[in-house]
Chain A
C-alpha cells in the first residue's frame, strides 16, 4: 500500500450505531488530519494531530472522537450521529518541520450516510 488509505470507503449507519473510520499513511509523515466535506460546502477541518498529539479541535461535536495511536494511524470514532453528519470524511497527512512544505496528501475518503 502506498500513500494514504482509508477504510471503509462507504458506510451506512443508524443514529444509534457506533462505528469507526480508519486512516493509515505510508508516507513517513508526522501530522494527520480529519476533514468533513458536505455537499455545497468547502472542506471543514475537524481535527489535527501533530507528532501524535491532538493540536486542533474545531468545535466538533463530542459524538466524533478521534484517536491517533501512532504517527501512521488515525481513527475517527462515531456514535449517536445525526443525519446532518452524512458527508465525505477525508483523512490527510503531511510532513511538518524545518524546510517542509507541509503539503497535505489525502486518502480516498469515507462516504458516510446516517439514516
Chain B
C-alpha cells in the first residue's frame, strides 16, 4: 500500500479563490510528521507547512493551512486567496521514525500540479 496518496494529478483555481489539495497517508508509527512542499518549474522544493501527529491545532503559515484529520489519516493543504505565483507542483510528505533511527525517513506522494488562472 502507498504510504502517501495524492489523488489529484492536476487542479485548477481562479486567482484570489481558495483551493484544497488532498493528501491521505498510512502509517503505524504513533509519532510522525506531515509536510507540504511546493516545487515550481525551476525545480527547487520549497517547504510550506508542517503538522506533527500530536499537534492539537491545525497548522497555519500565512495563506497556507493544513486540514489535519487524524482519524481519517488525511492532511489536506488549503491555499487561500490564490495567486498566479502559486502555480506549481505540490507534494505531500510524511516523516516516520522507523527502526530506531535518529532521523526521520521522508516519503513523498506523487504530487498535484496546481494551475492558477487569472
A interface residues with partner B (beta carbon < 8 Å): 31, 33, 42-43, 45, 48, 50-51, 55-56, 88, 90, 92, 94, 96-97, 101-109, 111
- 18 additional contacts, CB 8 Å, given A50-B103, A90-B43, A104-B106? A31-B103, A42-B91, A42-B109, A42-B111, A55-B102, A55-B103, A94-B103, A96-B103, A101-B50, A101-B52, A102-B33, A103-B50, A105-B47, A106-B37, A108-B43, A108-B44, A109-B44, A109-B45
Say whether B33 contacts A106, CB under 8 Å: no
Q: Report Cα–Cα, A96/B33, bound state, in Å.
A: 13
Q: Interface readout for B93-118 with A: 1 if CB under 8 Å, 0 if not?
A: 00100000111111111110000000
Contact for B101 among A45, A55, A90, A109, CB less than 8 A: A55
| Minimum Cβ distance to chain A for residue B99 (Å) | 10
- For residue B25, CB closer than 8 A to chain A, the reply is no
* A102 to chain B: closest residue by CB: B104
A43, A50, A56 interface centre (most CB from chain B within 10 Å) = A43
Say whether A43 contacts B47, CB under 8 Å: no
Contacts A50-B103, A94-B103, A101-B52 given; does A106 touch B44 at CB 8 Å: yes
B interface residues with partner A (beta carbon < 8 Å): 4, 33, 35, 37, 42-47, 50, 52, 91, 95, 101-111
Contacts A48-B103, A50-B103, A94-B103 given; does A106 touch B108 at CB 8 Å: no
Say whether B104 contacts A43, CB under 8 Å: no
Contact for A42 among B35, B52, B110, CB less than 8 A: B110
Say whether B47 contacts A103, CB under 8 Å: yes
Contact for A109 among B43, B103, B108, B111, CB less than 8 A: B43
Chain B residues near A48 (CB-CB < 8 A): 103
Q: Report Cα–Cα, A107/B107, bound state, in Å.
A: 18
* A101 to chain B: closest residue by CB: B50
Q: Report Cα–Cα, A94/B50, bound state, in Å.
A: 13
